[in-house]
Amino acid sequence: MFDPERIRDDFPILHQTVRGRRLIYLDSAASAQKPVAVLNAMRSFYESDYANVHRGVHRLAARATDAYESARNRVASFVGAPPRALVFTRNATEAINLVAHSWGRSRLRAGDEIVLSVMEHHSNLVPWHLLAEERGVVLRYVPLTGDYRLDLDAFEKLITPRTRMVCVSHMSNTLGTINPIAQIAERAHAAGAVLLVDGAQAAPQIALDMGDLDCDFYAFSGHKMLGPSGIGALYAKPEHLEAMPPFLGGGEMIREVRLEGSTYAAPPHRFEAGTPAIAEAVGFGAAAGYLEALGMDDVHAHERELVAYAVAGLKGVPGVRLLGPETERGGAVSFVVEGIHPHDLATILDTEGVAVRAGHHCTMPLHHALGIPASLRASFYLYNTREDADRLLEALDRARGIFGPARATV
């Protein structure tokens, strides 16, 4: 049985107090905490097996290479992909930039169109802004429905014969909205376009199978799924990787280098120039193994139940405006409270030992579309409990007692 109280014991950082109260960590959408299994895997690697990979014939180099490639196998399996289709990157942001620089610059021309949505994280907007400025690519945006979901009717109308790519988040980091990726992929492919998915929020929370989703590119980060920072991954259909030019040049990504020029390694190594984040990859693999052992269906079921409980409680707080669907959503719960600026509210919650995020959450266009400058986000994960949600509600009540209408700042 899935037991968040037992799971919490695996996370040393959660065994602390803030101002005399047990820490309630509700900021996992920004970065998740790390279990002992991940910490031990990285420490053991550094203490026993560390060396550079792929280049040495000595024993440590062989063990390090095996550990690195084993991590690739484990992470690839976690998302239902073959290892040759998984490129290690620094994070989901770099994975998206890799596609923009390599696939985008080699394929897109002036007048070609990319369809995105207004709910996208800046990481899935700015690379395309840069490409549009450079190449004259046209960006089109899918709006939201009244219940904070992707407007699929508008999406259909935005697809044209000039559409070359669709870029969409699997799960919104602000709204918690889960988008129907397989359905979007089918429509994009029918138009001859490719689909890139920002999976940074979905990968930690729901079971994935790249074959079922049928997307062309899927970007995700290690640090949001219990792994270390500085490591992420790009899944790409092998036929795309084979046709794409390198993103970065240097050691490791080459086949042969002469003064006259270079030839390049086969994917995925073609896109992993230089010494990679070896220990971080080991930690990433351990995180994937930890999640698989828990069972991603159970992880998602726990989050659905916990978010439903939290949303029901927040709906009973006077002055709260919830952002995002009420059902069938991910672990991020964003809201605003009438008369209290989100940054002030987050500061007060911190005095109660409740860690939440305040701001635009790297979704400024979304907040502009919603008519608000910022919001408060409580993001729940597998180590959170109903008690955590209750502590959030109690802290909100105290904050509302401190900030009255006369001190309204929003």
Per-residue model confidence as pLDDT tens digits over 149-190: 999 999 999 999 999 999 999 999 999 999 999 999 999 999
Task: Domain count for the chain, please give it.
Answer: 2
Q: What is the pTM of this model?
A: 0.96
In CATH, what number is assigned to the domain containing residue 355? 3.90.1150.10
Q: Find the domain containing 125 and state its range.
A: 38-293
215 is catalytic: no
Q: Where are the alpha helices (DSSP H) in 79-119?
A: 92-98, 105-107
Among candidate residues 258, 276, 293, the one where a domain is terminated: 293
The answer to whether 404 and 339 are in contact (CB under 8 A) is yes
Classify strands 354-355 and 24-25 as parallel, antiparallel or unpaired. Answer: parallel
Question: Are 208 and 107 found together in one domain?
Answer: yes
Question: Are 372 and 252 found together in one domain?
Answer: no
Question: Are 214 and 199 found together in one domain?
Answer: yes
pLDDT exceeds cutoff 70 at 409: no
The answer to whether 173 and 332 are in contact (CB under 8 A) is yes
Question: Are 285 and 351 found together in one domain?
Answer: no
**Percentage of the chain with pLDDT > 70?**
98
- For residue 104, the 8-state DSSP code is I
Question: Are 334 and 265 found together in one domain?
Answer: no
Question: Are 26 and 168 found together in one domain?
Answer: no
The answer to whether 29 and 121 are in contact (CB under 8 A) is no
Give ∠ CA 205-209-214 in degrees, rounded to 5: 120
Question: Are 347 and 265 found together in one domain?
Answer: no
The answer to whether 273 and 251 are in contact (CB under 8 A) is yes
**Strand partners for 198:** 169, 219
According to the model, what pLDDT value does residue 404 have?
60
Residue whose entry in the numeric block shows the structure tokens 């042969």: 256
Which amino acid appears at position 120 of this protein?
A: E
According to the model, what pLDDT value does residue 45 have?
98
* Selected catalytic residue, list 138, 362, 364, 369: 362
CB atoms within 10 A of CB 379: 29
Q: 124-151: per-residue pLDDT in tens?
A: 999 999 999 999 999 999 999 999 999 9
Q: 356-375: per-residue pLDDT in tens?
A: 999 999 999 999 999 999 99
Among candidate residues 244, 264, 293, the one where a domain is terminated: 293
User: What is the per-residue burial (b if ≥16 Cβ within 10 Å, else e) of 60-72?
Assistant: ebebbbebbeebb
Backbone φ and ψ of 114, nearest 5°: -120, 130
**Percentage of the chain with pLDDT > 90?**
94
In CATH, what number is assigned to the domain containing residue 200? 3.40.640.10
pLDDT exceeds cutoff 60 at 405: no
Cα separation of 175 and 30, whole Å? 14
Q: Where are the alpha helices (DSSP H) in 144-209?
A: 152-158, 181-190
Cα separation of 147 and 311, whole Å? 14
pLDDT exceeds cutoff 50 at 406: no
Question: Are 284 and 327 found together in one domain?
Answer: no
3-class secondary-structure state, position 263? strand
Q: What is the overall mean pLDDT for the chain? A: 96
Question: Are 174 and 314 found together in one domain?
Answer: no
pLDDT exceeds cutoff 50 at 279: yes
pLDDT exceeds cutoff 60 at 295: yes
According to the model, what pLDDT value does residue 410 have?
37
Cα separation of 334 and 311, whole Å? 10
Residue whose entry in the numeric block shows the structure tokens 């929370």: 205
Among candidate residues 253, 277, 293, the one where a domain is terminated: 293
According to the model, what pLDDT value does residue 1 have?
81
